[in-house]
Structure 1
Amino acid sequence: MKKLNVAKKDACMACKACEIACSEAFYKKFDEDLSCIKISVQKDGVSPKPVVCVQCGKCAKVCPEGAITQNPKGVYMINKKKCVGCGKCKEVCPFGVMVKAEEAETVSKCIACGICVKACPMDVLEIKEA
């Protein structure tokens, strides 16, 4: 299974380079709300915490159109032709990393492309194949 993984969570500086890279790749602009990776705050209320899609499949289970399916590498992908933009997948995501821009017709999610991994100056992220 291929997925984005937080390899060094304590090394995150909250520079948001990963969020910038993701939102620019998918939406051609930086908007942290449009990123499929989020920099949150740990329980201590101070330390940054990268939050990523773990490819759990909860989004696929609730999609009424069957627009979200798992590819052979284990990544859940959204078929933009089938997606009606209802947002049920976004509502059920336990990590809050599914994105629906106001102007977009469909939802976006992490596809483990690695753009955020390349952007991270601290090597916090990795693409893992299990």
Structure 2
Amino acid sequence: MAVLSVPVLAHHGRGATYDMKKRVTLEGTVSKVEWRNPHVIIYMDVKDADGKVVTWGFENSGVSTLAQEGYNRNTLKVGQDITAIVNPAANGAPTAIVVKIVLADGKEIMSRDNGQNPAN
């Protein structure tokens, strides 16, 4: 009997992790930005309905993709107020994937909105 081992490359499916049919708008303050691959992660403090601060983590594109679009590790700063439009975690956890970020002046950045994502 011979056993053959072959390396497998895989990438997680966003549809299994995030509810791609649901869109949520969150307002809050950037608390941390992890500028790294495979995905840049933006953390934002958001007040819930009871006024309790909940830290959300938002998955974004990788460093090279964002850099090609003109963004860098200084695009978002800790303490900056932003609005995040996201597809939330399918399991209800405070994690999501970015659809777009809206700055305080109304400028939209880091948009992944292709018009196929329904607004809720």
TM-score of the aligned structures, taking structure 1 as reference length = 0.25
Higher relative contact order (CA 8 A, sep 6+): 1
Q: TM-score, normalised by structure 2?
A: 0.26
Largest Rg, 1 or 2: 2
Between structures 1 and 2, the one with greater strand share: 2
